[in-house]
Amino acid sequence: MVVMITPEVGNILSCRSNILEVPLFLREVDTLRRGRYFERWARRLREHGFTREDAKILSYGTFGLDPAGLTLGVTVAVTFDLPFINNFRVQREDLARRLKAMAVQLPRPYHDARLPEMATPERVLQMLET
């Protein structure tokens, strides 16, 4: 399993490098970078009522690229933000339709963009145990 973080999370954690676990964690993760259609998708997510921060997280999960540019998006976006998760679940079908309508017009690999799942850290640990 590959763990990827957003650049914003990386910046926050790098300011906490005095905590023993932080440098160890940062060595084990990759930082996503914005794919070509990141901003466009984030704007569309904002139209669905997501906060700027939540729209960025979902946009990284959909159009973020790994450092080598070989992997598009993520399988699961992890957050403690339950209102964000609930908002996503309520709107998931509409978002999936809108993404599909957008993605079919895009070149590969963006043509294959998919919404990530949303989960709390606790839920991810449960998923890993099964």
In order, the DSSP letters of 28-48 are H-EE-EE-TTHHHHHHHHHHT
Alpha helices by DSSP H, 1-130: 7-14, 21-28, 38-47, 52-63, 82-103, 121-129
Closest CA to 122 of 80, 76, 77, 75: 80
The whole-angstrom separation of Cα 126 and Cα 87 is 22
Nearest to 73 by CA among 127, 120, 35, 111: 35
In a structure prediction context, what are the per-residue pLDDT tens digits for the chain, which is 130 residues long? 789 999 999 999 999 999 999 999 999 999 999 999 999 999 999 999 999 999 999 999 999 999 999 999 999 999 999 999 999 999 999 999 999 999 999 999 999 999 999 999 999 999 888 8
User: In the chain, what are the domain boundaries?
Assistant: 36-129
Cα 51 from chain centre: 14
